[in-house]
Structure 1
Amino acid sequence: MGRQFMARCNQCQTEFEVREGGGLDFYLLHCDTCGEEKVIRQEEVLEKIKKQDPAFSFNEKVEAIAGRCHDGHYRIKAKARCPNCQSDDYSAVTDANGEIRMTFYD
């Protein structure tokens, strides 16, 4: 299950949307350098994973299928990053009632 929310960078105070985690039929990866997202359909993974080296973990296989970003590598466990300063140090934005508005998805 994934989630989506607004965040504020703790370094430069930029507000931006964050999506974390995949869904029922897709994997969501982020670049470990710039934070760019990449979605890979589960169907694509199932087609290609059998051709991968059995010594690799499942996450390593999915990351190999995802390929490289122009700045780094797409990683399942990499966090989203601020679009302004590329920091992965952020906090969820709260509304006037002090609550975090978060959407969950499959």
Structure 2
Amino acid sequence: MPKACATETAQIGGNPAVCDDDFDGTQYVTTLTVSAAGLITITGQADMAGLVVTLTPINGADGEAAEAGDFTAGFQISSWQCNGSVSGTAQASWLPASCTTN
């Protein structure tokens, strides 16, 4: 849901940081944050402890990572770049297939 919210916010111009307002945590995710630049960070807990996934929106106009000013002005997200980090007992195979590991 935060990804869809950030995409919509980019189209209409606004602050995507509000896209995480209703997140209370789940059995497997302790935090989910969305920055003013649309960067979504998900941190695992319990069985998923040690797993961190980041989704970076890519600005369709220049092919670069979006910035907060892009959201204020309004733009099109052309894609999302997924990166993940794995530590402790977490396994890289738990990351989405489109993610690269750090």
> Shorter-chain-normalised TM-score: which range?
under 0.3
TM-score calculated relative to the size of structure 1: 0.27
